[in-house]
Structure 1
Amino acid sequence: MMIPQFTFHIIILIIISLISPPLTYAQAEYEFIAQRDCASTCGTISIPFPFGMNEPHCYAHKWFEVECKLDNTSHIEKPYLKSLNLEVTLFDVNSALVEIMNPIYHSNCKKNNNNNNNKTVVINLKDSPFIYSQQYNTFLAVGCNNLAFLQSNGTTVGGCVSICEDNNNNFNLESRSCNGRYCCETSLPMHLAEYNATLQGLRKESSDHDECSYALIASDFWFSFDWSFMTDSEIEKMNNLKNMEYAPGILEWEILNEMFVNSTFQIPSDSVCYDSKRTSLTNRTTGRRCDCPSGYNGNPYVLGGCTVIQGFFNKNNRSKKWVIVGVSSSLGSIGFLIGLWLLHKDVKKRMIKKRKEKFFKRNGGLLLQKRMSSGEVNIDQTVLFTLKDLKKATDNFNKNRVLGKGGQGTVYKGMLVDGRIVAVKKFKVEGKVEEFINEFVILSQINNRNVVKLLGCCLETEIPLLVYEFIPNGNLFEYLHDRNEDIPMTWDMRLRIATEIAGALFYLHSIASQPIYHRDVKSTNILLDEKYRAKLADFGASRIISIEATHLTTVVQGTFGYLDPEYFHTSQFTEKSDVYSFGVVLAELLTGKKPITSVESGESQSLASYFVQCMEENRLFDIVDERVTKEGEKEHIVAGANLAYRCLEMNGRKRPTMKEVTLELEGIMRLNKKLNAQQNHEEIELAGIEESQPWDGYYASNSWPIVSSQTHSTNSEVTHILALK
């Protein structure tokens, strides 16, 4: 049975109007009631109890005390919540809401004389009966090429991206949309009690000619966020935000439990009250809310405040009503059930679509689309996964599937329907949008066997997800410092891993279509595959550099122990900063020591500085790992140590390039293989039938190698490498 589309929409409108009447700000049909002998208005605003003015018995608690102030501009009295010093434009006791004037955060508004640029007004609702309404507010940001972040208690809890190609942040009168072009919006978190907003430009360097940008929490009743029906006056209102300091926002409230302690305030017995959790962060009861009984309306917080709705209890009217309802229900029950089923299906589909779109925008999908259209992202090499696929792959992100946790998020092990094992990275959503997009864009362009491969991403979730190839043997830091005697870290393995990572960085710096600076080279970001080959990972902090650029000026970030001192002092990151970090990794491989260690005095010691000190004092073998000393040729170890020493030069210009580092390490590896082959040949001649069984293609001896005439020629090649220092 099919229902015509027009009839179906009529049914939807009727059902929605019955089960979910819209909340409006029209004054209720009852008279607002204050306590006896108490003022009930301030200017044009009615003030219902539990709010009140002047005398303590006129309000339920000091949090609900209202102060009436004369506005110097309009010469009209306006009500303020005295404890919070917030102007109130409407009180609603039925819905337990108040509309306040909320501050607007401005950035780069140098031409605006009515606002203090970057003015910060902190409103703290903690311990109060008020919170920002998640249902009736929206976080809105307007401006060109901005990342807008909503922060609470030092943590980013929301954000969105707005871009515009013409750098004109006047709202587009034709598009009538706020989906990331000129402006963006996102929902508020639950139980938001205090916040501030920050605006961060997407450009590398700000310009004096940049237009004003601003962010705010705005009431859905003051400003329509149904963009397809936005009126011209609302568009003009958005363009006028730059000249405003405050905009309406909605607070929800409740009567806190502690307000009944040692207080004369009592809720009338004829009211219907129930437990409330509006201000709770732990899902426990924090207060009470009240309504009038069925058939009554008015103020449930005042004795006698609930009055009978005229005609509600008239028996004749009620009988006629029930006859009509009964007949209608009998005749239309089948059609109603079918319509209800179709409505549920349609509404659920719309909700899922809207939710996915909201998460797509919040997670930087619009910015990602822009980069895709500009050719920055290699779409052919990546896949957009669905949340359903990744939930199935990770057993609904089971904690037993966690591979590791870091500053950017959590990594889970999963298996796709085609049998591929993957690693799924769930980002820490708030504030990490740019890192997520950055890693996706960079990895989509890289094709190198020693860089972890990106398979795709998922943007339709609350938290953005990236999907990588699975690397089974953990990271280099764990393998190097948590010794595994079953598969030991031999000198051959260390030399090979160093060469592979050097080659990967050489590829990023010099071979990729545009130079890429990794900016966080460290042993925890070097993964080991099933054959213990090295894979460079974690590109969230990486940057693509124009071919003409020599450095990147940015806020200093990195990992203590690996951070280039020159970058730390100048804030200018160059390719030589990655070289320094690689030098620390190479020193780790040679010494087996952690980048930061505690000494007997209780202070922390940097491996880089200690390694340089030992080299300058000719005490290299006091710090080199015992296994390296036993297995490696002395000249090879010295060559590797000299290379690490040059990488750790304080002056970046004196450090070698990653190309030079790679060539030198490959030279040492060739000499090492030649020496191992010679040793194997001599052992076979001595043992006759004995054969060496090298592990994974690399031989590690347990004693110092035999030196022959051929070895001396090999050492002359090492001397040539050392001469490169």
Structure 2
Amino acid sequence: MLRLFLLQLLLLACFSPSFVHSMESSASKCSNISIPYPFGIPGKSPSLSKGFEITCNPSGTGPVLPIGNSVFGILDISLLDGFVSILASANSQQCKGNHSVNLEGTIFTFSDTRNKFTAVGCNVVAMLLNGSSGYSGGCASFCSTKDNIINGSCSGVACCQAPVPKGLKKLELVFSIISNKDNSTPSCGEAFIVEQNSYMFSSLDLSNTNNTNPQYRPVVLEWSIDGGSCEEAKRSSYACRENTYCYNSSNGIGYRCNCSNGFEGNPYLQGPDGCQDIDECSNRNPCTHKCVNTEGSFYCMCPAGMRGDGLKGGTGCNGVGTLQIAIVAGFALLVLLLVLGFWTHWLVKKRKLAKIRQRYFMQNGGLLLKQQVFSRRAPLHIFTSSELDKATNYFSDNNIVGRGGFGTVYKGILSNQMVVAIKKAQRVDRSQMEQFINELVILSQVNHKNVVQLLGCCLETEVPLLVYEFITNGTLFHHLHNTSAPMSWENRLRIAVETASSLAYLHLATKIPIIHRDVKSSNILLDESFVAKVSDFGASRPMPYNQTHVTTLVQGTLGYMDPEYFRTSQLTEKSDVYSFGVVLSELLTRKKPIFDGTMEEVRSLALHFSMLFHQNQLLKIVDPEVAEEAGMRHVETVAKLALRCLRLKGEERPRMIEVAIELEALRRLMKQHLIKKSQPLLQESRCHEEMSIDVASSMRPDDDGIAEDESI
């Protein structure tokens, strides 16, 4: 109880105003060496923390710095540069042991700018260790005979030097003897850290490598305030006071403070001992006439009728004569001519830019697009290039949100504060401009809640710019493969249903069927509610109703591409079904479509998934969280559907509408399973029949041939 009472009294005393003021006192001295705050001598001057305490012995060795179980004499403390110069034996001997300084757990590190790592010995390699990460530096010294040794030279003959690694706290060495053919040269080596330019090599030092007594040499330590970077320290215990600035320590550990420009003093103290304004006027009077001191600076005043900077080393103060007036008038005229010239140049450049934009607009089918938008009443807005330049900060790299094989996507904010995604497409083939415009109009009329909406385009640039609604929550690929947070199977199954519904809509319910051609998890975006949105129609192709396939150049993504399409170049709606089968496998397994493996292993997810299923080893690849949440009967049913989509022959695959119906039925069964786990999975056929009626009604097109936004 008495100890607790005394502790309370001590805390009250520490937080009293008088004690706080005494904490921030001026620097004390020990043997004519200044000990500035944050350093301090217990009982004489306070310190910022225990790591800054210094012991003073004025009648003996003077100030010493305790580190661990050792103490080191202090030669100098630099508040401005953050250095402490000590006298230490920071060395390690190959034959006789280690006398190095261990700075681990302290606020100090060996300075990499003011020290040198030095090794003395013949045919010796001294390598610095950096914990478990290997070597961090070192050097080698050679000598065949003593005649080759030159006093004062440390360039590799009997003595070598190397930079000290940044942030070094402990001298851990590995010595290696290269050879020792000449027994007249000592076989032992010594390595140490010493202040640069303070050590002069002597051949006598070779004899000291066998000496057990430590050699004391000046060593420079860097110190910093513990507490993270400046930004981190400002949120907790910030040591910098008024009129100061903070800078991170160069060794990457902690931070230090300094007085702002125009101030001097101790940046760690408040009041008169802290950073105070430098009165430049009274100290050195830099002005030719009147000097006016300001907080952190000054300025000079010239007498009436005189002009100039008023500085002694500058132009001073001079009278304004006829010549000066003429010069000023000529300068004003020159400025006026420059302004007129700039304005004229700006007008010419603006007209030239307008002509270029008009030319691009015509080349990119602008007139045809206007006609199509007017005749079909398509909800497609035609943006100007100026609007999109402002929206994307002139297409700054900071606004890039994605790159793909068909263009770069930028985030933009329109003048009405609407956030959009702007895709800079690849160069359009001028010979297929009419087809490109038709596809734009068709995509603008796609109206489904699970398809990213095309809002408009800009044709005033060399390559067309497409403007889509902005989806905020990233891609399905990112949430499956690049985050540690698991996604529930209920959410994954819903995303699969929404994706299949949107693809079935594109295949059946639009005026002209659209084949996406690049279905993959990175082209399925998720909004803030994790609702799926199919995106990136850069590779999509419309297909007339009277055709079964379109022959094209093969495009797509490895791992998702339909092997039949890859082999024949004949694109059908079943190509999207295959790609969706890969996505469904991803949802089940959380495996990438192409994964790393040895040469003997199967690297294709589709092949690996199919092989394990037919070997009755599905649990080896299915995500354990999915198996636990849904049950293996449900997982096997979904896996069978995925494998039907992945059949090599397109004619054997189900249509996208059939896939959507089966997935919705499975989703309903899954909901019932989660509510009442004992309910069997045998009602699947009944749900299929109900879903067929629902989907048939939702897929009826409206009067214009474009389906309403109804979920499949």
Normalising by structure 1, what TM-score? 0.45
- Larger-Rg structure: 2
Normalising by structure 2, what TM-score? 0.46
Larger RCO (alpha carbons 8 Å, 6+ apart):
1
